[in-house]
Amino acid sequence: MNQISVQELAQRLSSGDASIQLVDVREPQELEIASIEGFVNLPLSQFTEWGDQVPNLFNPQAETLVLCHHGIRSAQMCQWLIAQGFTNVQNISGGIDAYSVLVDHSIPQY
């Protein structure tokens, strides 16, 4: 599975590329603490509620970047997306925690 650094994520976000699909697999209470604009929230704990909708929500050929707190849950999601036929999936290494430390200090750590 491919990885993208939080610095690369920041560059991609600032480019304004609307073709990138952004998925955040953290829980709603985590998003209340810290989030990055533009990400679609699909909490892993609610997989049974959204799992069958993924092919309708996202383009399997488009670049898909997946975020969580540290990069573990997002790696699981990346593996699942690849198994569903997604061809360009990247895990955001270090998650939102690394993003808040290395890129945007205004995002709270938790």
64-81-52-44 Cα dihedral, nearest 10 degrees = -90
Q: Is 78 a catalytic residue?
A: no
The closest of 43, 26, 21, 17 to 99, measured between CA atoms, is: 26
Catalytic hit among 34, 65, 68, 78: 68
Instruction: List, by residue number, the catalytic residues.
Output: 68
